[in-house]
Amino acid sequence: MEKFGRAYENFKRAFRRFEEVRSQSLLSFFSEDFYTEIVVKRFEYTYEAMWKAVQEFLRNRLVHVYDEKTARELRDRILEEDIHRLFKEVLDAIITP
């Protein structure tokens, strides 16, 4: 769980930093091109941190799954509508210009 805890904290920190650059007020300090680079890099870093946290969460959960009922419950939570909608929203946001 310690490895997941570190990955989760890294993700939270990355997300807070990503939220900082969403403020359009930064655009007044930097050129538009430089601001764009900052946003893209922060997004990439946040996405990677999120992916590592999810991997550690699942690894931790799956390593400790000893019975079929718990495995099915975890599977069902992964397939829940909210998670599907989240993936779809991320995909749509990336594809939509």
The structural domains of the chain, with segments of one domain joined by +, span 1-64, 66-97
pLDDT of residue 94 exceeding 90: no
Q: What is the pLDDT of residue 96?
A: 63
Q: In angstroms, what is the C-alpha Rg of the chain?
A: 17
pLDDT digits 0-9 by tens, 1-58: 588 899 999 999 999 998 888 766 766 778 888 888 988 999 899 999 999 988 888 7
pLDDT digits 0-9 by tens, 5-17: 999 999 999 999 9
Q: What is the pLDDT of residue 27?
A: 67
Q: What is the pLDDT of residue 45?
A: 94
The Cβ-side half-sphere exposure at 73, using a 13 Å CA radius, reads: 7
pTM, two decimals, is 0.67
More confident residue, 81 or 11: 11
88: left (phi over 0), alpha (psi -120 to 50) or beta: alpha
